[in-house]
């Protein structure tokens, strides 16, 4: 398994992986445009030349970042890929001086295993919500907020 920064040639595969889960209501959809804009935030997992996982660390505010766009190919689930991506993103955050990471998720059990704790959305700063205006669920967010100190 290779974990690396993605390139432009990975965007279509990332788009397909993420939006397959979004179509099943398991995560929010991402447009190609948003994937291109946030490409530098991401890490991908590749197995024998096939993209099998993705995750992103999006910087939000002073020492605060969000883990987002986390998806693992269904045939590779439970192989530790998602957890490894989260740890690599957290390590990247540490280098940048991030002290707290959060996520908004429909998969709280997974993130609990990664050291995140459920919190009230009210605990997140207003800066977090600036991108929510583009969300198809705005203003009725039903994701669960979770946070981890690093």
Domain count, the chain: 1
Angstrom distances, CA of residue 17 to CA of 26, 66, 90, 108, 117? 12, 20, 22, 20, 26
Per run of 10 residues, the mean pLDDT along the chain (length 150 residues) is 98 97 88 96 97 97 95 94 98 97 94 96 70 61 88
Given this model, what pLDDT does residue 57 score? 98
For position 107, which CATH number holds? 3.40.630.30
| Cβ-proximal residues to 63 (8 Å cutoff; 6+ apart), any chain | 97, 98, 99, 100
pTM over 0.85: yes
Given this model, what pLDDT does residue 148 score? 97
Coil/strand/helix, residue 34: helix
Beta bridge partners of 57: 67
Residue 106's domain comprises: 2-149
| Cβ-proximal residues to 35 (8 Å cutoff; 6+ apart), any chain | 11, 14, 15, 18, 69
Given this model, what pLDDT does residue 124 score? 80
Q: How far apart are CA 104 and CA 145, in angstroms?
A: 5
Given this model, what pLDDT does residue 2 score? 97
Q: How many Cβ atoms sit within 10 Å of the Cβ of residue 62?
A: 11
């Amino acid at each position: 398994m290779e974990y690396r920064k993605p390139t432009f040639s990975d965007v279509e595969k990332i788009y397909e992986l993420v939006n397959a889960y979004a179509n099943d209501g398991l995560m929010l959809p991402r447009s190609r445009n948003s994937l291109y804009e946030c490409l530098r935030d991401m890490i991908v997992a590749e197995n024998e030349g096939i993209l099998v996982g993705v995750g992103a660390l999006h910087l939000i505010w002073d020492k605060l970042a969000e883990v987002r766009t986390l998806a693992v190919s269904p045939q590779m689930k439970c192989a530790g890929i998602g957890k490894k991506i989260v740890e690599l993103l957290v390590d990247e955050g540490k280098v940048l001086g991030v002290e707290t990471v959060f996520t908004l998720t429909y998969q709280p059990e997974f993130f609990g295993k990664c050291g995140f704790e459920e919190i009230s959305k009210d605990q997140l700063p207003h800066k977090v919500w600036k991108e929510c205006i583009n969300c198809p669920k705005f203003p009725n967010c039903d994701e669960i907020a979770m946070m981890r100190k690093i």
